[in-house]
């Protein structure tokens, strides 16, 4: 089992490729689905379910572009599609009262949290793929670098811990919103629900960034200590001393 002492540095990133990747990801997976959904429901009177299905075509397009451009399947787009399928299924099941819709929204984030936890039992946890999407520019060199980090125990621990925290946080957030939907008025929940959704996302993103930096710093510290320990016997021999046992 490899340690972190020889973890390679990331390759130089292509600024243009990274910018294109970010713009395409955010545009096709976030902005376009939201605009399509709101336009169809607000301006054209489409049902929520029908509008959701149509808006889900944008991540499919993103996946097709990635496959054609890089000749590989992008797991981030796959997760996005899974999330949209979960949303569609949850929206279709049950009654369509205001309270039911609020509970269904909570069910979506709760199922996403459950998906995070399920991936802990797979070869790679979900945050590994999310990290690769945003820590690389999608080139073969940067992708190979990120994939190669999996051999290090510290990196594996970091990815699994991040996935665990995201999963638990979203399940707890969903349970809290379901409980509030039964004790607060619909108008109040409509107001506070977006703050809970984006507040949870923002808090997790901030924690992930800080935890990632701490883990990286810890890995660098261990590498420096290991290098110093390896250099000490050489220095003693050069000075004519006897290496420590």
Assign 29 to helix, strand or coil: helix
Cα–Cα distance, 32 to 213 (Å, whole number)? 32
pLDDT tens string 236-245: 666 655 555 4
Cα–Cα distance, 166 to 168 (Å, whole number)? 6
Read off the pTM. 0.65
Residue 243 neighbours by CB under 8 Å, 6+ apart: 233, 236, 237
Residue 103 neighbours by CB under 8 Å, 6+ apart: 178, 181
Helix residue ranges, H only, 73-124:
75-92, 98-119
Query: Does residue 150 surpass a pLDDT of 60?
Result: yes
Contact indicator for 215, 158 with CB cutoff of 8 Å: yes
pLDDT score of 93: 65
pLDDT tens string 17-51: 656 766 777 777 677 877 887 788 878 888 766 77
Q: What percent of the chain has pLDDT over 70?
A: 65
pLDDT tens string 163-210: 999 999 999 999 998 898 888 887 787 778 777 877 888 899 899 889
Query: Does residue 60 surpass a pLDDT of 60?
Result: yes
Query: Does residue 228 surpass a pLDDT of 60?
Result: yes
> Cα torsion for 11, 14, 19, 24, to the nearest 10°?
-80
């Amino acid at each position: 089992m490899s340690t972190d002492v020889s973890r390679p540095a990331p390759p130089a990133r292509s600024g243009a490729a990274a910018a294109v990747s970010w713009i395409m990801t955010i545009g096709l997976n976030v902005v376009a689905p939201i605009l399509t959904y709101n336009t169809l429901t607000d301006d054209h009177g489409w049902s929520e379910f029908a509008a959701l299905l149509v808006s889900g075509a944008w991540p499919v397009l993103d996946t097709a572009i990635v496959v054609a451009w890089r000749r590989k399947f992008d797991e981030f787009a796959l997760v996005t599609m899974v999330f949209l399928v979960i949303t569609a299924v949850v929206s279709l099941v049950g009654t369509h009262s205001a309270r039911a819709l609020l509970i269904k929204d909570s069910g979506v984030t709760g199922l996403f949290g459950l998906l995070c936890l399920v991936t802990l039992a797979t070869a790679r946890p979900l945050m590994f793929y999310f990290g690769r999407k945003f820590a690389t520019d999608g080139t073969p060199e940067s992708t190979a670098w990120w994939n190669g980090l999996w051999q290090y125990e510290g990196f594996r621990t970091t990815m699994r811990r991040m996935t665990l925290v995201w999963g638990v946080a979203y399940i707890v957030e969903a349970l809290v919103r379901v409980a509030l939907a039964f004790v607060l008025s619909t108008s109040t929940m409509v107001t506070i629900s977006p703050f809970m959704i984006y507040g949870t996302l923002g808090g997790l993103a901030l924690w992930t960034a800080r935890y990632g930096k701490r883990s990286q710093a810890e890995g660098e510290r261990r590498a420096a200590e290991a290098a110093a320990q390896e250099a000490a016997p050489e220095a003693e021999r050069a000075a004519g001393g006897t290496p420590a046992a």
